[in-house]
Every structure is written in C-alpha cells, then in structure tokens.
C-alpha cells in the first residue's frame, strides 16, 4: 500500500489486507510476539543532514570511516569504544553513505535501516499495540527528522520472535542462513553478536564463492578486502547480501570459516 507522507493521520482508514508472515490471521495490531518489517523506499534527505539533525536533537551518533569510528552523544564527542553507544535509546549510525536510526517509542522500538530497495522500517513492540497509532507516531518522528520520501510502501511482513530457526532464505538466493538471518533480524548488532558475525558499522564480513571461470561483478569491487582461489572476502553493506547472492558469477555467499578452538 502506498501512502503520501502528509497523510499520516489517515493511516487507520487504510490498514486493511496486511499480510503477516508466521501469524495465523492478518491483524491491525502489532503483536508483542512478533517484530515487523516495512518498506520505506528511497529516502531523499542526505546522510549529512540526518547526522546534523540527529546531533542537534541529542541522539547518540556513530560515524564510520572504513574500520575507524567516532562516537558522539549529541554534539559532544565521547572517548569510549563506539560499541558502548549501540545500546543507547536514540541512536544514529552513519557508514559509507548509509544510515541506521533507532529510537524507543511508547511500548515499542523502531529502526530505520538500509534495504535492497532503499530503506526499511523495523517495528519491535513490547506489548500489543494498534498499528495505526504506532505508525502515526513513527512517521511523525521521522518527518521531524526530515527522512521521509513523498510516498511510502507500507506492506508489512511480521516474524515471530521465538522462531529460533528463523525464515529460510529465498529459493533463488545462494546464501548462508545466518547471513540471511542478519538481513531480516530485528536488531543487526545483537544478531551479529549472537551468531559470531563480524559487523563493522553497517557492513558484514562475508565470503563470495566465485563460479569456475567467472569473476566477481565490478559493482562489488569496492567492498573486496581479499581474494584468492575463487573466493572473495568482502566487507559488504548488509543490505547488499541478497544482491550479491543473486549475482550470476557467485555460487554461494557465507561467513568466513573460523578455526575451531580445541
């Protein structure tokens, strides 16, 4: 469903026909047993303007330049490991032209983060809440930050929080299940820690197994950190994982193998 950003108050009239993966019936409530992904499409605001607005409004901000990072609370730089800021209630992470914003609302947490089609909204309710009220609050907050496009595609996909296996990758995607799980996880940072994935900013360490006689597509060259014997190790933006897995030159995308500890 498409909505113009100026019609936030009218959302309740249109919240019909929503599909919730893993739920028995469609619902106009966000259930505390699930988290939800919604497509926001392209964001027109620049990353620099988002950073400046976030800092002026007292958000914690982490900016990455390669593997180096600086952390701020508001406009004040802080001399601690940026990882310590990841648990802050109002957070913006800036990395290579991409941003992630996370904020707590009344009974829920929402995150805006890069996706294959622009940006996605993640809603993580701590109690059952009406969708219309939550989305009105979230979209009003995003409007105040200047990070909405003119039209929003609010088709909802819900995932059960207690599903330990998680959804399987799409059939056409040659990708390890833990990397796919990261892509759709409600919190990239927590999930990466749980699965022992190396996440730096909004990039994850991944290995592309190149098909015999083929070469990695040029579009992925900026993310390659090492290559040999038909393998390419990348520091890849999380939102590009499925794109890489669908490449005609790639046989499989997986995390790097880690030596086992005796």
- pLDDT by 10s per residue, the chain, length 262: 544 444 343 343 344 334 344 443 456 899 999 999 999 888 989 999 999 999 999 999 999 998 899 999 999 998 778 888 898 999 999 998 999 999 999 999 999 999 999 999 999 999 999 999 999 999 899 988 988 765 566 678 999 999 877 788 888 789 999 999 999 999 999 999 999 999 999 999 999 999 999 999 999 999 999 999 899 999 999 999 999 999 999 999 999 987 655 5
Last residue of a domain, one of 111, 135, 160: 160
For residue 170, tell me if it sits in a domain. Answer: no
Q: How far apart are CA 88 and CA 171, in angstroms?
A: 37
Same domain, 13 and 137: yes
Structural domain count, the chain: 2
For 139, other C-beta atoms within 10 Å of its C-beta total: 23
For residue 112, tell me if it sits in a domain. Answer: yes
CB 117 within 8 A of CB 41: yes
Cα 58–chain centre separation: 22
Same domain, 199 and 242: yes
For residue 198, tell me if it sits in a domain. Answer: yes
For residue 167, tell me if it sits in a domain. Answer: no
For residue 80, tell me if it sits in a domain. Answer: no
Same domain, 93 and 31: yes
Domain range holding 250? 177-254
Q: DSSP code of 138?
A: H
Last residue of a domain, one of 116, 131, 160: 160
For residue 75, tell me if it sits in a domain. Answer: no
pTM, 2 dp = 0.88
Same domain, 96 and 25: yes
Same domain, 105 and 38: yes
Q: What residues are paired with 62 via a beta bridge?
A: 71, 93
Please, is 179 exposed, middle or buried when counting C-beta atoms within 10 Å of its C-beta (0-12, 13-18, 19+)?
A: buried
Same domain, 99 and 182: no
Same domain, 181 and 247: yes
Same domain, 101 and 199: no
Q: H-helix or E-strand containing 153?
A: strand 151-153
Same domain, 114 and 192: no
For residue 53, tell me if it sits in a domain. Answer: no
Last residue of a domain, one of 131, 160, 189: 160
For residue 78, tell me if it sits in a domain. Answer: no
């Amino acid at each position: 469903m498409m909505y113009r950003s100026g019609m936030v108050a009218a959302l309740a009239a249109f919240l019909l026909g929503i599909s919730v993966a893993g739920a028995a019936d469609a619902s106009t409530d966000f259930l505390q047993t699930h988290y939800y992904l919604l497509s926001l499409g392209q964001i027109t605001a620049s990353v620099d303007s988002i950073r400046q607005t976030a800092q002026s409004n007292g958000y914690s901000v982490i900016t990455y330049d390669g593997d180096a990072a600086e952390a701020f609370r508001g406009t004040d730089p802080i001399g601690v490991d940026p990882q310590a800021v990841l648990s802050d209630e109002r957070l913006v992470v800036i990395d290579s032209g991409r941003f992630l914003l996370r904020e707590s609302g009344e009974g829920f947490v929402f995150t805006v983060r890069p996706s294959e089609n622009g940006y996605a909204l993640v809603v993580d309710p701590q109690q059952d809440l009406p969708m219309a009220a939550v989305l009105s609050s979230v979209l009003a907050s995003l409007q105040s930050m200047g990070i909405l496009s003119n039209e929003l595609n609010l088709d909802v996909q819900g995932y059960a929080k207690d599903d330990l296996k998680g959804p399987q990758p799409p059939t056409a995607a040659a990708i390890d299940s833990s990397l796919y799980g990261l892509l759709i996880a409600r919190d990239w940072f927590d999930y990466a820690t749980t699965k022992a994935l190396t996440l730096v900013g909004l990039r994850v360490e991944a290995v592309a197994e190149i098909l015999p006689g083929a070469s990695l597509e040029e579009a992925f060259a900026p993310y390659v950190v090492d290559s040999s014997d038909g393998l390419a190790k990348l520091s890849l933006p999380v939102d590009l994982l499925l794109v890489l897995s669908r490449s005609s030159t790639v046989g499989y995308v997986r995390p790097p193998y880690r030596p086992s500890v005796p």
